[in-house]
Chains A and B, each alone.
Chain A
Amino acid sequence: MIVSSQKKQKYGQFKKLGVDFEYLLNFYKFPPLEDITIEEFETFALDRLQVLKAIEGAILRNKTEEQIRGHINQISDEFLPLRSNDGKQRYDLQAERRKDHISHFILRLAYCRNSQKKQKYGQFKKLGVDFEYLLNFYKFPPLEDITIEEFETFALDRLQVLKAIEGAILRNKTEEQIRGHINQISDEFLPLRSNDGKQRYDLQAERRKDHISHFILRLAYCRNEELRQWFLRYECILFKIRFTNEKKEDRDAFLRDENIIWPQLSSTEKESMKKELNLSQEYWKDPIFVVEFENALELVSRRAVYLKDGKAYVPAHEQITLVLSEFRKRLEEALLLASKAFPKLDDERILPLLNNINKQYLGKNFMGKNVVEGKVTADDVDELVGHFPLCMQNLHKNLRTSKHLKHYGRRQYNLFLKGIGLTIEEALIFWRKSFSMIDDSKFQREYAYNIRHNYGIEGRRKDYAPLGCMSIITNNQPGPSENHGCPFRHFSEENMKATLIDNGIRNTDQINNIITLVRDKHYQIACTKFYEITRNLEDLNEDKPVVETIQHPNQYYEASTKLTKSKKKK
C-alpha cells in the first residue's frame, strides 16, 4: 500500500512536471503515464524503429560519423522529428517530444528481454558472413541455421584434427613433425586456406565450417574441468599451427584487426639493454615487445625471455607465445561462460549429440566398471610385480628397501594398485605392512588419510583415476630423494642401462635401441619396446611395433597379465 502510493506520488509529480518537455534532449527518466490509443502505440513504435534501423544500416555500411549523422537527420525528420527550442514558433515541439518520449518507452519494453545480446549478435551476423582471415579468435557464436547432419559432421571432423594432435604429441614427435602431420589431416577433414587460395577454393565455406565446428565442440567440451582442459590444450596447438602456417602480412593484419598490439622497445632503449637482452644477431633487427610477465608465461617458464621489474622483453620471433596466451585466455573464459550456460540447454536434438561427442573419445581410465575389485589382495602384490611397468617396479623396489615412499610416490603407486583391483581395505593393509618402520599411530595419523583420500572416501571425495603416462611424465617432476615419475624420463642413462640389464636384457643392440628412444624423448615408445623385448614379442625383422603404444601403466599391467593367461591356455 505504502509503496504503491509512494510511486504514484512520484509519477504524479512527474506527470505534472512532465507535460512540459523543456529540452529536445531527454534522459528518459520517467515513463509516460498518460493514456494513448492502440494506433498511436503502434505508429510511434514503428517510427522510432525506422530511425534505429537506419542507424544500424548506416554503421554496417561503414560510413563515417559525419555521413551517418547527415543520413539519420534526414530519416529522423521524416519519421520522428525532434527540433530544438528555437523552432518554437513553427513546430509543435511538445507533441514531437511527447512522441519521442513515448516511443522510446515502448521500444524499451520490446527490447528489454535480451536486448544487448540481440543487438550485438545482430550486428555481428551481418558482419560475420565475411571471414577476412583464416585465423579466428572465435569471438561471436554463429547465428545461422544449420542442419543436424551438418552439426554432427562438422563437430566430428574438427575432433579428428584435435585427436590427431593429441596422438602426434603422445608419439613424442617434434613440433615440426606434428605440424606436417596435422596439416595433412587438416586438409582432409577441416581444410582452411590462406587468402591467396581465393581463386581455387571456397574460403568462406571453409572458414564457416571452422567457425561453427569450434563452437559445437566448445559446447560439448565445456562441461567439466577435465574436458575443458583437453579442448583448451589442443585448440591452442591447432591455433598455433595455423598461425605459423599463415603469411606474416595476413598475421599482422589479423592482429591489427583484433586490436592486439603491444608496446615496443625504442631503438635507444634496445641498445642500452643489449647485454641483458642477450639476443643473437639474426633477431637483433626485429622489434621487441614489452609486456607484463603474466602475459608471457610460457617464455618465462622456459627462461627464454629477459625479465626486468616484472616486465618481459619479448623478441618478435617469440610473438606467437603472446598471441597464444591471448587466445588461451579468451577461450578459457569463454569455456567457463559456456559451462554456466550449458545446464540451460534443453534441446533433445542436439543434447544427445553433444553428450556423444565427448564420450566417444575418452580413452579408458581404469576406474569403476573397468576394475574388478577384490581380485587382488595385499599379499598378491609381490607376486604380481613382474607384470608392473618399470615405474611401478621402481616404486615397489624402493618401498621394500626403504620401507617408505614420499608423497607423490605413494600417490602414483597407490592409484595404480587401486587400478589393478586392490580394495581400500587391502590397500590399507598393504601400506601398513610396507611401512614397517613406522608405528601404528603415526601411520594412522599421517598416511592412512591420504590412502583413503585416493580412494575418494576422505576430503572432497573425488574418486581419483590411476595416473596415465602423460601425467606421470609431465607433472610433478621428482625432486631429490623422490622415486616417482617415469624411469625412462627420470633416470640417468647409466641407471637406465643398469636397470635394463637387471631386467635380463643383455643384447647390446636392444639396449641401445631403448636408450636411443629415450634420448629422443620417446619415453612411452621406449616403455613399449621394453615390454616387447622382455616378453619376446619383438619382431626382429621389422621395425614396426607389435603392441599398442603404452599410454597408461595399468594398460601395461593388463596387457601383461592377459598375455600370461593366453600362454597358459596354449
Chain B
Amino acid sequence: MSLQSENDAQTSLMEEIEEMEEIVETEELEDIEDTEKNTKEELEADFWRNPSRTILQAGHESQDFIPDTSELLRFFYTKLFPYKIYAEWLNYSKEIDKKFINREFSFQLSNEAVIRHLSFNNPDELKAEIVKQCPLKIDIGAVYSAKPKDKRSLRPSAYKPVEKELVFDIDLTDYDDIRTCYKGGDICLKCWQFMTVAIKILDVALREDFGFKHLLWIYSGRRGVHCWICDERARKLNNDERKAIVSYLEVIKGGAQQHKKVYLYKNMHSSLKRSLVIIEDYFEQIVLEDQDVLKDEQNWTKVLNCIPDEGLRKELNKKWLQLPLKPSIDKWHDLKSEISHYKNKKNQWRLDSSISEIMFQYLYPRLDDKVTTQINHLLKSPFCVHPKTERVCVPISPDNCENFDPLKVPTLTTLYRQLNETNNTASDKSGTKRIHHEYEKCSLKSYMKYFENFVEGIMKEIREKNREASEMSMEF
C-alpha cells in the first residue's frame, strides 16, 4: 500500500514539474505538440531540463556584462552540468541503486572548506545540493558498504570501500625537472604534448594488456589529465591489484636526488617495446625541438647524467661547450654516434640501452601513483570547473588527443556569452528545433555528446550482460 502511494506521489510530482515546464515552454516553443511527451524518456528529459530558463532571459541582456565567478558557477550548475548522464554513469544503470546512494562525494566550498563523506539518495538530491552550495570543486570517491553520510554512526568494519573506478592522474608538475618552457601551474601547447604522449601510451596499455574497454580521459582543468576506467572488473579491484597495475605501468622511478630514473632490462617487456615505438614517434619533435633539452649546459647535463660512463659524459660536454648553439637534434645525433663508437666491451649493453632510457625518462608517463593505488582516494569529478582557469574539465578522446588544445577548452565566461547569445537569437525566431538540454547551444556540446556516447557504451555492455545472464537462467 505505502509503496503504491509513494509511486503516486512521485508521478504527481513529475506531472507538476511537467506542468511548470509547459508554462515556460508555451511562451517560447509554441508549435510543439504536447502529445509527444507520452514516453517515459520524454518525461525524464523534461524533468532534467531546467525549469529556470527564464532567469537568464530576464537578466543581463548586455553582452559585455560578465558576473563574478560564484555567479558564473551558479549559472553553470543550474544550466549546464549534465546531471542526468552523470548520475547514470556513476550508477551504472538507469535505476538508482547502492552504487549511487553509497558513493562518496566531496565538495570544496567557496571559502575553501572541504566537506567530505557526502552522499545522496537520488540524483535530484545531488543536483539540489550542488546548486545550493555551488562548490568550487566536486570530488568523487569510492562506493562504500553503507551511506558515506552515515559514516560517523557506523562501526568502522561496517563502512568499507567496495568499489571504485580505476583512476590515473598525470600532472605536468611532475615533469618540471625536464620541461623547459613553463614551470608550475602554467602550461602551453608545447608542454601539453607530454600529456598527449602519456595518453597514447597508457590508453593502449590499459586496453591491450589489461583488457579494459571503458576509459574516460578527462582534462583536469589546468595542467594535467585524469583517466577513469569504468569496466566492472576495474571497479572491483582491491588496493593490491591497483598497486600491481601501477607498478607494471611505472617506468620512471626515483626522487629529486636521483638523476637517472629509468633502468631497462636486457629482454625488454613487450609492453615497453610498444611504448618505445610511440615514444620514438614523438621524441624528436617534442623533446628535441619543442623543449630543446640540449640547448644549454644546465639542461644537457641532465641528459648526460643518464649515461653510465664518466669518460663519455666529459667528452660530449666538451664537444658541446665548443659549439653550444648547435641545435638539440644535432647534439642528440652526436650522443648516439658517440655511444655506438665508444669502445667499452664490458659496459656496451648498458650504454646502448641508455639511449632508450633517456627517451623513456623524457616521454614516458609520470603517474601520481597514490591516486591510483588507494581505492578510497578522491579525484576531481569530470565536468567540474577549475576555479583559477575557469576551464571545464571536459573529456579528451584518446584517438584524437593530439588535436586537443587545453587553451581552447570552454571557460565559464565563454559559455555564459554563448548561451546568452543563442538565447537572445532563439527568442526572436522561436522553436525551430526541439532542444533537450541547454548545453546543446554552446561549445560544450561536442564534449557532452562524447560523454553521452561513452556512458551509452557502458550501458550497452551491461544490458548485454544482463540479457546473457537471463538467457542462461532460462536454459537452466
Identify the closest chain B residue to A449 (Cβ): B114
Within 252-284 of B, Cβ neighbours of A (below 8 Å) are at: 252-261, 267, 269-272
Pick out which of these stretches binds chain A: B30-38, B47-55, B133-141, B203-211. B203-211
Contact: A294 with B257, CB < 8 Å? no
Contact of B176 with A481 in the complex, beta carbons under 8 Å:
yes
Bound Cα distance A535, B271 (Å): 49
Q: 1/0 per position for A478-492, CB-CB distance to B under 8 A?
A: 111111110100111
> Does A300 make an interface contact (CB < 8 A)?
yes
Q: Would you call B270 and A310 a contact (CB within 8 A)?
A: no
| Closest beta carbon of chain B to A286's beta carbon, Å | 17
Is B338 on the interface with A (CB-CB < 8 A)? no
Also in contact, A480 and B244, with CB within 8 A (given A278-B269, A487-B257, A495-B258)? no
> Contact size class for A?
35 or more
A479 to B171, CA, bound (A): 12
Bitwise interface map of A from 502 to 525 toward B, beta carbon under 8 Å scored 1, else 0: 000000000000000000000000
Q: Which residue of A lies closest to B175 (CB)?
A: A480
Q: Is B255 within 8 A of A478, CB to CB?
A: yes
A308 engages B209 (CB within 8 Å): yes
Write the nearest CB–CB distance from B277 to chain A, whole angstroms.
14
Partner of A297, one of B244, B252, B271: B244
The reply on A280 being an interface residue by CB < 8 A is: yes
Within 8 A of A (CB), among B13-42: none
A281 to B192, CA, bound (A): 43
User: A479, B255: Cβ atoms under 8 Å?
Assistant: yes
Contact mask for chain A residues 299-316; partner B; CB cutoff 8 A; 1 contact, 0 none: 011110011111100000
From B235-243, B315-323, B406-414, B428-436, the one touching the partner chain is B235-243
Docked CA distance A307–B272 (Å):
12
B465 to chain A, nearest CB (A): 16
Nearest B residue to A495 via CB reads B257
Chain A residues with Cβ below 8 Å from B247 are 300-303
Q: Is the CB of A481 within 8 A of B177?
A: yes
- The tally of CB-CB contacts under 8 A between chains A and B is 101
The secondary-structure label for the interface of chain B is loop
A491 to B254, alpha carbons, bound, how many Å?
8
A477: interface (CB < 8 Å):
yes
A272-308 vs B, CB cutoff 8 Å, 1 = contact: the mask equals 0001101010000000000001100110111100111
Closest to B114 in A: A445
CB <8 Å contact, B259 and A479: no
User: CB within 8 A of A481: which of B210, B237, B256?
Assistant: B256
How many chain B residues touch A (CB < 8 A): the figure is: 40
Residue numbers in B under 8 Å from A268 (CB-CB): none
State which of A309, A445, A480 has its C-beta within 8 Å of the C-beta of B174: A480
Which single member of B233, B244, B259 contacts A310 (CB below 8 Å)? B233
Contacts A303-B272, A476-B370 given; indicate if A309 touches B259 (C-beta within 8 A).
Answer: no
Would you give the shortest CB distance from B408 to chain A, in whole angstroms?
28
Check if A310 sits within 8 Å of B258, measured CB to CB. Answer: no
**B471 on the A face (CB < 8 A):** no
Interface centre among B177, B243, B270, B370 (most CB of A within 10 A): B270
Judging by beta carbons under 8 Å apart, are A485 and B255 in contact?
yes
Please, which residues of chain A bring their CB within 8 A of the CB of B252? 480
Q: Scan B159-179; emit 1 where CB is below 8 A from any A CB, else 0.
A: 000000000000001111100
* Cβ-defined contact, B270 with A480, below 8 A: no
Question: B211 contacts A492, CB within 8 Å?
Answer: no
Question: With a CB–CB cut-off of 8 A, which chain B residues contact A483?
Answer: 255-257
Q: Are B244 and A492 in contact (CB under 8 A)?
A: no
CA distance A492 to B175 in the complex (A): 19
- B211-231 interface mask toward A, CB cutoff 8 Å, 1 = contact, 0 = none? 110000000000000000000
Residue picked from A300, A308, A311, A479, most chain B C-beta under 10 Å: A479
Q: Beyond the given A298-B244, A306-B269, could you list 12 further A-B residue pairs with CB under 8 A, ordered by the A residue number?
A: A301-B244, A307-B210, A445-B112, A477-B253, A478-B256, A479-B368, A481-B174, A487-B257, A490-B255, A490-B257, A491-B258, A492-B257
Please list the residues of chain B having a beta carbon within 8 angstroms of any beta carbon in chain A. Answer: 112, 156, 173-177, 208-212, 233, 237, 240-241, 243-245, 247-248, 252-261, 267, 269-272, 366, 368-370
Report, nearest first, the 4 A-B pairs whose CB atoms are least far apart.
A478-B255, A310-B211, A309-B211, A301-B247
CB pairs A–B below 8 angstroms (10 shown): A294-B237, A298-B244, A307-B210, A308-B209, A310-B209, A476-B370, A478-B255, A483-B256, A485-B255, A491-B257
